[in-house]
Chains A and B, each alone.
Chain A
Amino acid sequence: MSNMSQSVPFPESVSRISNLRIGAGAIGLVLGIFAAIGLLTQGHESFNTNSNISWGLPVATYVFFVLTSTGLTFVASLAMVFGMKDFYPIAKRCIWGAIATLVTGFIALGLEIGNPLRMIWVIPTNMATSSPMWWMGLFYLSYAVFLVWKFLLVNKGDWTSGQSKVIGILSFVTVIFAHATLGSVFGMMGMRPFWYGGMVPVYFLITAALSGLAFIMLFINLDYGMNQANMSDKVRSAMTRYMPPIFGLALGLVLVFTLTRTVTGLWSNVPELNIPMSYIVGTFWYQAEIWIGMVLPLALMLSSYRSNAKVQTLAGLLVILALFIGRYEYVVGGQLVPMFKGAWYDDLLMYAPSMTEWGVVILAAAIGLLLYAFGEKKLSLADAPNE
C-alpha cells in the first residue's frame, strides 16, 4: 500500500504540536489521577451527584465522547461505505479518533457507575431487553468490536477487500443503532418532559455528526501543524473543498435544532420543560454556546476564510466546547426540576460538579488524547488506499 501522505516531510511545527499534545495528555493524566484519588478514597461520595441529580458531569462526558466517536465513524464511512473517495485521506485518522473517543467515553462512564465490573456478567446473563440502556450497551459494544476490527484491517493495508467492506458497513450500521438507542435512553423518559421525544435519536444523530466533524477540524489541522502546506494534495483537497461546507451545513442544522428546542421549551406550558429551559437560557454558558460556539464558527465557515487551517482549528475548538456545554445542559437540565419532592426542594435543584468529577473528565480525556497521539506517532494515520 502506498503511503502517499507520508511522502510529505514533517516540519518542525508539526512535531512541536505533536509534542505539545503528548505533554498536555501527560499533564492531564497526572491531574486526572490526582483528582481520581477522591474516587479511590471516598468512592462516589466525592461526586456532587445525589439521589435527586443522579447523572452529572461524567454522564454528560460519556454522551459527548461516544457521540463524537459516532460522528467520526460517519465521516470515515463516507469513504469506506459510500465510496466517496475524496475522504479516504482522512479516513484512517477518523477511525482511530473514533476508537480514542469511544475509549474516553467508556472510561468516564465506567468511573461513574457504582459496580462497573459487575456489568460484564449481569448484562449478558439477564437479557433485560425492555431497557433502552441494555440495547445501547449491546450496540456500542458491537460497534467497538467492528470499529477495532476495521482499524486492524486498514492498518494492514486492507481497505477494500470484501471482508474489510463488510466490517466497515457493520461498524456504520451498529453505530447508527448505538447512537439511536443512546438517544432513546433519554428520549423514552416520558416522566421527564425535558428529555422526552421520539426525535431525540435524530437530534443525537445530527449533533453526533457535528461533533465528529469538529474533532476533524481541530485534530487534523493540528496533525499538520495548522498549515495546509504540510498536507498532501488529497488531504488538502478534503480539508479545503469538502470539509468546510459539510461542517458548516451540520453546524447550521444543529443551530436550528438547538434554537427550536429552546423556543419550544420557552413557549411550553409544561413546567418541567419551561422552567429549566428558562433557567438555562439565562446562563452565561448557554449564551456562549449559541453565540461563540455556533454562530461565530458558522460565520467563519460561510466566509472566505473557511479554508484557512487556523480558522478551521479555531472553529473546530469552539464547536467542540459548545457541544460539550450542550450535552451538559441536556443531561443535567432534565433533572433540575425535583421529581416529586414537594417543599423539601421548592426551587430547581442545584448541581455543580465536584473536583473528582472534573478529575474523571480530565483523566478520560487525557487517556483519549494520549491514545490518539500514540496512533498519530506509530500507526501511520495518513495512510490511504492506492487508487
Chain B
Amino acid sequence: MRIMRFVTVALLAILVSVAIMPATAQESGEVLTVYSGRSESLIGPILERFTEETGIQVEVLYGSSAGLAGQILEEGANSPPDVFIAQDAGALGAVAKAGLFAPLPSDILERVPEAFRSPEGLWVGLSGRARVLVYNPELLEELGLELPNSILDLISEEWRDLVGWAPTNGSFQANVTAMRVLLGDDATREWLEGMVANDAQVYEKNTPIVQAVINGEIPVGLVNHYYLFRFLAEDPSITARLHFFPAGDPGALVNVAGAGVLASSDTPGLAQRLLLYLLSNGAQQYFAEETYEYPLVPGVEPIVDLPPLASIEAPEIDLSDLDDLQGTLEMLEDAGAFDG
C-alpha cells in the first residue's frame, strides 16, 4: 500500500516537472526551427556556436534529406521549419521545384561560386563533397581484387556481397540522379538492379559504411570523401583509403550540402542570418577543419590532403539538374534497393 502511494506521489511529481519544463525552455525569445538532413555530428556543433554567438535558439529535426524534403512537401504551407539544410542539391531542388523556398538575397548567394547555388536563387551551397569509394587495402589484397575503374564495374560478379552502399542516404541518391542525367534512366536502372542482384550490403548512412570498411567487414563502400578523415583524426593507424573514380565517370560526382529558407517561415530575417553565418569565413573554416569538407567560399581552403575541388574531373553536371529526387526514389524503390 505504502509503495503504491509512493509511486503515485512520484508520478505526480514527475508530471508537474514535465508540465513546467517547456515553460523554462522558452526563456529567450528568438527561436529558429531547422530541418536538417545532415547528421547531428556534422552540423550540430556549428549550430550550437551560432546560438552562443547570436543568442538565437535553434531547434533541429534531424532526418534523411529525402525524408525531410518529403515531409516539407506534405506539410506544404503549414511547414514549421524556417530553414531546410540538406546534404544534397537534389533534395533542395525538389523543395525549390514545389515553390516552397523563398528567394535568397544576393549577399547570401554571392558568397559562393555560381556552380554551387540554385540558378533561381532559392538555395545556396554550404560545403562541397566528392563521391568516392572507400577501401580497405589489406582486405582487397586478400581477396585478390583491383580497385574498379568505374562505379559501373561494381555490378560485376567479382564484387558480389562486397560493396557497401546506403540507398536511403541523400548524397548517394544525388549520385543516382546524376547518373540518370548522364546515362539515362534505363542504364541507371540496370546498374541499380545489378547492385541489388549483386547483394550490395545496405547501410543506413555513410559513417557505418566507413566503419565497416575499416573493420574489414567489407572491402569497399560508396561514400562521401570526408567521413574517413574523421576516423583518421581519431586513429591515424587506420589503413583504409579513398579511391576517386577517374575523370568523367558517373561515380565522380561533386555535390554540395546546402540550405534554403522556407517561404512559410515567419522569421525569414533570422533564417537568413543563419545562412549568412554558415557562409562566414569562420563557419567555412569549421567545415574545412572539423568535417573535412570543401569550403565553398573562395579564400578558405580544405586542410586535409585532398585533390582540389577544381581538379576533380567531375562529369559535366549542373547541380540544379538534380532536382528529380522523386524519380530517383521511385527508381531505387522499384529496383529493390530499399529492401536489403
A and B associate in one complex: no
